[in-house]
Amino acid sequence: RKEVEQDPGPFNVPEGATVAFNCTYSNSASQSFFWYRQDCRKEPKLLMSVYSSGNEDGRFTAQLNRASQYISLLIRDSKLSDSATYLCVVRPRNSGGSNYKLTFGKGTLLTVNP
């Protein structure tokens, strides 16, 4: 099983649609979770952290299910500018004590159409 697995898409949705992405992770001891966004030929940028209680930032809602080891991202009222690749990112708990490593999924490509 891959460390972090995402549906690569592409997801093509019209403006105003609601779209949801899921991500699964294999390390049950993982401690932190994030969604990053990467525009074409640009660097990844943090979209939001994902907390156990779930969190919302405007049109974006992130959920974490530790029991099932999956993370979700919901985008409401999609905008053209939401078109990007969304990266699921997990910080595993390393036995060596290093907490610096992030494990990235391959990303899910979203295209929002007019």
Partner 1 sequence: ETGVTQTPRHLVMGMTNKKSLKCEQHLGHNAMYWYKQSAKKPLELMFVYNFKEQTENNSVPSRFSPECPNSSHLFLHLHTLQPEDSALYLCASSRGQGSGTDTQYFGPGTRLTVL
Q: CA 3 to CA 22: how far, in whole Å?
A: 14
Peptide bond preceding 10: is omega within 30 degrees of 0, i.e. cis?
yes
Least Cα distance to 70 among 110, 113, 20 occurs for: 20
Nearest-approach distance from CB 87 to partner 1, in angstroms: 8
In the bound state with partner 1, the residue whose beta carbon lies nearer, of 32 and 61, is 32
In the bound state with partner 1, the residue whose beta carbon lies nearer, of 95 and 98, is 98
In the bound state with partner 1, the residue whose beta carbon lies nearer, of 46 and 80, is 46
Query: What residue has token string 């036995």?
Result: 95
Token digits for 86? 């969304």
Nearest-approach distance from CB 57 to partner 1, in angstroms: 14
Least Cα distance to 85 among 27, 23, 11 occurs for: 11
Nearest-approach distance from CB 54 to partner 1, in angstroms: 16
In the bound state with partner 1, the residue whose beta carbon lies nearer, of 17 and 26, is 26
Interacting residues with partner 1 (CB under 8 A)? 4, 31-32, 34, 41-46, 49, 87, 91, 98-107
108 bridge partner residues: 86
Nearest-approach distance from CB 46 to partner 1, in angstroms: 6
